[in-house]
Structure 1
Amino acid sequence: MAFASITRELECSICMDIYTDPVNLACGHNFCRVCIDRVLDTQRRLGFFSCPECRTQYTTRPALQRNITLRNIVGNFVPTQPDQKTGVFCTYCVDSSEPAVKFCLHCEASLCDKHLKVHKTSAEHVLTDPTASIEERKCSIHMELLRYFCTEDSACICASCCLIGEHKGHHLESLFKASEKKKIKLRNALQKLMIKKEEVEGRVQNLHESRRRLEEQTAGKKERVSALFGDLRRHLEDLEQRVLSMMSRVAEHFSLAALHMIQQMEIKKEELSTKMGHIEELCNMTDPLTVLQNSGDLCDTDCENKDNREINDQKSELDMAGNFNKVHARGQSRGIFTQDPEDILLDVNTAGNNLHISDDRKTATWSSNQNRPETSQRFLYDPQVLSIQSFLSGRHYWDAVVGGSQWWGIGVCYSSLDRRGEESWIGYNKKSWGLESKRSQCSVIHNSTKLQLPTGITSGKVRIYLDYEAGQISFYDLCDPIRHLYTFSATFTEPLHAALAVGIYGCIKISGHDCET
């Protein structure tokens, strides 16, 4: 009973066998080194480490400490433990059945712990673990112990095999020497495998680190996106409340005005009823003198028409749909700009020779002759330039900062726009739509038809909005709040380019800061 209890205490909880090279974790539990290494290798692939016994968690692979005391106890205990698996007993213990702990290949005898201590220790007496079947270590042909290794055939052979057998004349080595050579090769292979294992562990560690950084970056970006959308929601909610409040105030104002008008019309209705009754009485009279004397100005209805016009004027002020449509349109003008502006780049191959194009392709400035070669794409006489990008679908917008000149023009055009002659100017043909400013007076132009706007640009910055499918080109003054200037409606048939025209000493910059004046 005590022996069985001690045996259980010396068993590894993983392999359920007696400890082999026992090591322990920081939590104090012991395991075979091979067993716990296998468990930790598996846990590393799963991304966590824990004790198999108590489940204590470790952030990194735990260090293994050799348990010298337990190793000595196991070493002293194993020789006295009966070999219950093999049932091999000592050859020399004839009076009792003592379990064998070693087998001598030279003597072909099993040895117990007692006889092992007095056995010869010369090199020829090779000791191995006890075995129940000695036949496994004998030559299947000559039934002699295998003592040599044939290097030519890589086979373990007996003495008869090398003297009279098929291995006669072959190069031979003792099993011990061949085993030592094989161990050297195995150690070299083990060293290479350890290096590869370390490389794999390093890669795994790098992947874990990359995964951790990715998770951290993703979490940070998620927080920023959530904060951005939270801010947008707050702005939208605030805008919604302001619009609803404005609509309520407008509705209340018009409701009171309508009530006042109803009261006026009720009074007017009573007056008309009284007048109609008087006229009916006169119409029913037979005395002509009375009719003529009492009719007065009852036949004059001009004043009634005047009153009707006043009522209609007041009624037009109550056009709630029209006022709310204005609010809706204003909301639309805000909503279209939630996306980022287009990254417009100017095409120097289209720029007239009186324009200097900046290195970043964002700014066009009036200058002296640039002496660029004349091509079919370049504006010959006009200080104009087109964008590299063209748009054949979708919604797009970009900003233009204007300054330095009393005249400038911006807009869009087809790539087939003429580069020479009078019809090459933006807006003065069927292939372009433009906004033009002369001495602070703004006009919109298409097909040479010019419409002057009531006010000019106050902010020095204009936004151009294109909705290709809807066939709309809109211009906005980027003051506070944004002011809608004009919207062209058309059916587009070709790709559209952004177009700029720069006056003397002027400059226009796409999505940039103000130009110096």
Structure 2
Amino acid sequence: MASAVLREELECSVCLNIYTDPVALRCGHNFCRGCIDRVLDSQEGSGEYSCPECREKHTERPSLHKNITLRNILDKIRSSLPGQQSGVFCTHCIHSPVPAVKSCLYCEVSLCEDHLRVHKKSEEHVLCDPTTSPETRKCSVHKKILEYYCTEDASCVCVSCFVIGGHVGHKMMSLDEATETMKKKLRNNLQKLMAETEEAEKRVQSLEERRRKAQEKAGGEKARVTSLIGDIKRRLEELEKKVLSDIARQAEHVSMLLHNQIQKLEIKKEELSRKMCHIEELCNMTDPLTVLWEANPGDLCDTEDRHDEQLHDGGDLDVAGISHTLHTGLADIIIEVSATKYMPEVADILLDVDTASYRLHISDNKRVASRSDMKMKYPDTPHRFQDCPQVLSSRSFSSGRHYWEVDVGGPHSWRVGMCYPSIDRKGVPRSLTGYNRKSWCLCRTGGQYSVIHDGIVIRLPGRISSDRVRIYLDYEAGRISFYDLCDPIRHLHTFSATFNEPLHAVLCVWEGCVEICGKVKEI
């Protein structure tokens, strides 16, 4: 524990207490920051500033420098005192630092247990927790203790501010009352923050679960794609071996055939060379009889090739056959992989009879919608289309990528597409698919094909060559696309939007029938 001599060296000459946040002037004397600030404030307007100890004068307010070494020494001394937490010591214990238990705002002193017992108990002596800056609890204008809280200015004031100061007529509360009111608000805010924290925690858990599922799904997709690509590679390698083997077999056959032809031509060359030599010898003879006897017109003078019927140009590679084998194999791989692995079937898409118009007949399997000349005996429901021959699917889509196909049945009049469940069920044209902001469709009317949304008609060139149409939905990307399932498949049109409701398939049949084919595919 510090000695009495050491304590004197650690005391501020202004407040006579152990330094709090010690700072030094240019002359080297140390003071509590709060103490020297108050001294310098009091000297403002006098034209000069001076050190409280050596009286060194300054024409301008001197700057304050932290005394790091002194502060570290004080921290170590305070940490060695048992039970000392606040660093505030009793003002009256001058021989050794004794921790203060209270501070008197009226006297601006700090008190230990012993000095607190003999301290005056009158009302003006307001006690608070130990503090080194009692002036912060007093009015900066009237230098009186802060006793009230002005609700209009949200500030603590003294009695003079309330009676004669700038807060006259304002609504006031006692500090205790204001504190309880503030605590009540803080507790309410705490409850709200706790609820928001709980909600945030739930969202974090939900997002973590979604992330976990996404990672699991990604792992499954990676395995599926790896298996798919591996299968394609294996099939391509088998196809490559088959085609290369066919090419090698044909090349060997052509090579043997040409080799035989070359041998036959070599024999022919030797025979012709022999005949040429014999003829030259006969031409050089002078005895006529010898020439005539040895010349055999049937052998030497016959220039026709008796081997022509045995010689030909040989064969060549069957390139057309090789190409056919290659292209057929590739097509088989693509068809098999696409049909069995890339787009798995997930669920049926069926028509909701409760939404069907009275002029539509829905088949028992809920896949075919046919225009009926007679009014169907359907029960009245609020979801039924009244004025347009339309029907929705019972299934809706609010995420993901999906596609399905519809058989439009040849040259009939129809509309196929998607819509929100909030589409109007009465009125023409507002309930008609394509003539509002809640539906997108492909339409055939009078032999003309078009796509329609919000009453805007875009005519398509040409015609749909097949009887089947594919509808593709990418909900997150906001795309609805239509395809003609001819060979090859032809893209017709893509709508782009930001979807804010689930989407249902919708069929509108003015003439003939439309059938949903197979199951929905999820990509």
Give TM class, smaller chain.
0.3 to 0.5
The two structures have a TM-score, normalised by structure 2, of 0.46
The two structures have a TM-score, normalised by structure 1, of 0.46
